[in-house]
């Protein structure tokens, strides 16, 4: 007769759980003006698979209803694949890599559990590891519409730039380290990293209402310099009008296009962490 060992995590957070399992929450905190919501690809929620073996879970909307045919993205250092949820919002796949990122785009929440088995003292031991969202997600205290400093290269090119960062936010709301997932170019990389460490958060909380660490996606955006000047906008905050600018690649009928590139989630696995300056 087999035995069952359940290793249950209270949060998708930067918390080491039984067996050394590390789980994270991914939340795209970059928000636009209320009348111009960000694209669905700007919203990401997921976790690092809590172990190898059979991973199964569910995708639900904000009201807890199952999301049918939701596309679940699975990323390892070797690439990305997708699976689709059934009519009850459930998915199932096999996880073999040590670091596997599982996430969904849009207004949805995803959870999952891995089941592994091994023979211990001539008995089958089954281990279940859960990854559940925090009871309360991290909330940005910094203004998400702030535009970082422009560089000469950015102004000269009159380009529209965007940087995606993965932030490790501590239980005190401080960014302890980060990864630059989408470098903005135009000599802006160092500015994105510098300003990333300036961000402050109300920390996520577990089901016991204790503050916990978590990981948060954040985007900085720089509208084209001359577009801002021509429309008489100050280069300090994203104007609501900016969210109506068509995305790059939508056609040759406009002189300026917004950079709407989604986060490069593969870099969340492969990119190196940058520690907070001391």
pLDDT tens digits for range 125-136: 677 888 777 888
Per-residue pLDDT, averaged over 106-112, amounts to 88
Distance CA 58, CA 38 (A): 24
Query: Is pLDDT of 253 > 80?
Result: no
**Whole-prediction pTM:** 0.80
Per-residue pLDDT, averaged over 43-64, amounts to 89
Task: Give the percent of the chain with pLDDT over 70.
Answer: 80
Residues of the chain with CATH 2.60.40: 7-131
pLDDT tens digits for range 134-149: 888 899 999 989 999 9
Distance CA 160, CA 147 (A): 12
Task: Give the percent of the chain with pLDDT over 90.
Answer: 51
What is the per-residue pLDDT for 121?
Answer: 65
pLDDT tens digits for range 190-247: 999 999 999 999 999 988 999 999 999 999 999 999 999 999 998 899 998 998 888 8
Distances (CA, A) of 135 to 56, 109, 112: 20, 12, 15
CB atoms within 10 A of CB 200: 12
> For residue 5, what pLDDT band results from cuts at 50, 70 and 90?
very low
> For residue 181, what pLDDT band results from cuts at 50, 70 and 90?
very high
Q: Are 135 and 71 in contact (CB under 8 A)?
A: no
What is the per-residue pLDDT for 26?
Answer: 60
**Average pLDDT taken over every residue of the chain:** 83
What is the per-residue pLDDT for 227?
Answer: 94
Query: Is pLDDT of 93 > 70?
Result: yes
Q: Bridge partners of 57?
A: 91, 112
Q: Are 9 and 129 in contact (CB under 8 A)?
A: yes
Query: Is pLDDT of 70 > 90?
Result: yes
Per-residue pLDDT, averaged over 1-20, amounts to 32
Higher pLDDT, 53 or 178: 178
What is the per-residue pLDDT for 255?
Answer: 78
Category of 89 on φ-ψ map: left (φ > 0), alpha (ψ -120 to 50) or beta: left
Q: Please name the residues in contact with 6: beta carbons below 8 A apart, sequence gap of 6 or more.
A: 127, 128, 130
Of 3.40.190, 2.60.40, 2.30.30, 1.10.760, the CATH number of 7-131 is 2.60.40
> For residue 16, what pLDDT band results from cuts at 50, 70 and 90?
very low
């Amino acid at each position: 007769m087999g035995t069952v060992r359940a290793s249950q995590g209270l949060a998708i957070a930067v918390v080491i759980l039984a067996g050394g399992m590390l789980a994270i929450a991914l939340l795209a905190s970059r928000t636009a003006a209320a009348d111009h919501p960000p694209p669905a690809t700007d919203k990401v929620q997921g976790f690092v698979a809590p172990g190898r073996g059979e991973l199964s879970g569910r995708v639900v909307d904000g009201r807890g209803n199952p999301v049918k045919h939701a596309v679940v993205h699975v990323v390892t250092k070797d690439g990305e694949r997708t699976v689709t949820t059934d009519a009850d919002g459930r998915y199932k796949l096999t996880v073999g890599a040590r670091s596997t990122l599982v996430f969904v785009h849009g207004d949805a929440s995803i959870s999952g559990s891995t089941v592994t088995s091994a023979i211990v003292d001539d008995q089958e031991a089954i281990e279940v590891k859960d990854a559940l969202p925090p009871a309360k997600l991290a909330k940005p205290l910094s203004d998400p519409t702030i535009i970082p400093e422009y560089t000469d290269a950015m102004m000269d090119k009159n380009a529209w730039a965007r940087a995606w960062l993965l932030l490790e936010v501590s239980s005190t709301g401080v960014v302890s380290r980060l990864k630059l997932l989408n470098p903005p170019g135009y000599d802006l990389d160092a500015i994105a990293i510098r300003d990333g460490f300036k961000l402050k958060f109300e920390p996520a909380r577990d089901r016991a209402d204790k503050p916990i660490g978590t990981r948060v996606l954040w985007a900085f955006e720089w509208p084209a310099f001359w577009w801002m000047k021509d429309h008489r906008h100050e280069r300090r905050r994203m104007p609501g009008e900016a969210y109506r600018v068509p995305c790059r690649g939508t056609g040759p009928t406009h002189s300026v296009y917004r950079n709407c590139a989604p986060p490069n989630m593969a870099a969340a696995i492969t990119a190196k962490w940058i520690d907070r300056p001391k």
